[in-house]
Amino acid sequence: MKNILLILRREYLVRIKKKSFWVMTLLMPILISGFYALLFWGVFNSQEQQKVSIIDESGAFTQKFKNSEKVKFEYLKLPLDSAISRLNQKQTDIVAVIPQNIMDDPSSLRIYTGKGVGFEIQNKIENIIQNEIRNVKLAKAGIDQKILEEADVNVSSKVVVVSKEGEQKEQNTLASTILGTITVILMFSTVVGFGVQVMRGVIEEKTNRIIEVIISSVKPFQLMMGKILGVGMVGLTQFALWITLTFALTTVSSSLLPANQIKKAAQQQMSEMPQKDKDKIAKKVTETPSDAGKVMGFLKSAKSLNIPLIIGCFLFYFLFGYLFYASVYGAIGSAVDNETDTQQFMFPIMLPLLAGYLIGLMTAGQADNKLLFWASIIPFTAPITMMARLPFGVEPWELILSMTLLVISTIGMVWLAAKIYRVGILMYGKKPSFKEIGKWLFYKG
């Protein structure tokens, strides 16, 4: 145990002291927050006002189009050819032609442009015409618009889970799905990322012949376990720093962004709406909870989740899932001389990991899915897929069975990996096959 701790300490300190570790650790959160800040700035500052010419042959849409900071409308009474010539001369950006039969054939609307039209502007023109056609048809049918607005109601429900003992517990499906998806992604990325680091570390030491010196002082199993645990601690440290720094930088950058532009854009959008739409929105606001109320309700319902159990299980499945796959990565690294030769061995490892990842994402929110159930029991996929089920509740016997099989499988995999590691770590100049690696398992000594 002392030798394992010494190797663990060495692996951790050697990697943590590298400049590249700190550069990547500090640079990644800055790049992430800077990217989103730049994207946000570009959305609100890069778009210029466009000039849209309206040719209303029906005469039913006069003064229906209102100007805004992004769009300026003008009404033309010109032949189509003359209007298009103005387009070519860059006197206008868009020409929208509303034909006389627009009421009978809404698909006859034509929009001409010289350099393409954005979806937002196209949607704005279509919505204005669509709303006006609807109002005209409702008026002809003798239907009051207010009756339709009053009939437009929002229906919401609460999910209550009833246990076998009759205990009732409210559950937020959205919160459970989001939490399950996040934990699936985190589990997959950390297990794969840290496992690859173990493999690369073994290959590097083997290539530099450092391993021959180390192996004379410690047993191969101790060396492998010390490296696996040391690299795992380095990865956890970097992962924790990324989360902390990303959260801090995102919070700071969001406070520095021009929030008044968001408010101004929302006000501008409201001013462009017809009065009936404004009244409809105001009615919905009074009938439905505010954004703050929704957030508070979401957080309140999220508290109904068994967070301590989820955190504890996440740590358990990460620990044994990482040990399971990192030992295999370490064995692969010991069997080859360079990273290129690992490709033939990587597919069998990545297949169950990718299967668990895809199953976890595609069945998120489907607590009773049979495929997800069996994937959460089988040790190869359990570390990932069980996290997708936990927020929805898992029977104790299912959790115990899954954990027991994972622990037994991890012990067996570490034992097999150690068998391969002790032989492969001293093999040079030969690319082994699966058959040859299988023989290593039965070597004595």
User: Is the residue at 357 inside a domain?
Assistant: yes
pLDDT at 45: 59
Alpha-carbon distance values, 197 to 6, 26, 427 (Å)? 19, 19, 21
pLDDT band at 355 (very low <50, low <70, confident <90, very high): very high
208 and 135 in a common domain? no
User: Is the residue at 12 inside a domain?
Assistant: no
Nearest to 106 by CA among 58, 72, 49: 58
Q: How far apart are CA 335 and CA 436, in angstroms?
A: 10
Does the structure show a pLDDT above 70 at 202? yes
317 and 369 in a common domain? yes
Alpha-carbon distance values, 80 to 4, 57, 97, 106 (Å)? 82, 11, 8, 19
User: Is the residue at 37 inside a domain?
Assistant: no
User: Is the residue at 244 inside a domain?
Assistant: yes
Cα–chain-centroid distance for residue 371? 22
pLDDT at 274: 55
pLDDT at 295: 45
Give the range of the structural domain holding residue 317, as residue numbers without chain letter: 173-248+303-440
User: Is the residue at 254 inside a domain?
Assistant: no
pLDDT band at 425 (very low <50, low <70, confident <90, very high): confident
381 and 321 in a common domain? yes
39-77: per-residue pLDDT in tens?
666 655 555 677 888 888 888 887 778 877 778 888 888
User: Is the residue at 23 inside a domain?
Assistant: no
Cα–chain-centroid distance for residue 152? 33
335 and 188 in a common domain? yes
Residue whose token pair is 């959008």: 269
Does the structure show a pLDDT above 50 at 296? no
Q: How high does pLDDT run on average in the chain?
A: 76
Average pLDDT over residues 80-96: 82
374 and 231 in a common domain? yes
User: Is the residue at 160 inside a domain?
Assistant: no
- Give the end of a domain, one of 120, 142, 164: 142
363 and 229 in a common domain? yes
Tally of CB atoms within 10 A around 390: 23
407 and 322 in a common domain? yes
77 and 221 in a common domain? no
Q: How far apart are CA 261 and CA 44, in angstroms?
A: 7
Q: Which long-range contacts (CB under 8 A, 24 or more apart) does 8-13 make?
A: 8/226, 8/229, 8/230, 8/233, 9/230, 10/226, 10/230, 11/201, 11/226, 11/227, 11/229, 11/230, 11/231, 11/234, 12/230, 12/233, 12/234
With 0.75 as the threshold, say if the pTM is over it: no
pLDDT at 172: 65
- Give the end of a domain, one of 142, 159, 184: 142
At CA 185, angle to CA 180 and CA 189, rounded to 5? 150
132 and 201 in a common domain? no
CATH number of residue 122's parent domain: 3.40.190.10
27-41, 107-121, 368-382: which is most confident = 368-382
57 and 196 in a common domain? no
387 and 307 in a common domain? yes
How many domains are contained in the chain? Answer: 2
User: Is the residue at 217 inside a domain?
Assistant: yes
233 and 188 in a common domain? yes
321-347: per-residue pLDDT in tens?
988 998 888 888 888 877 777 777 888
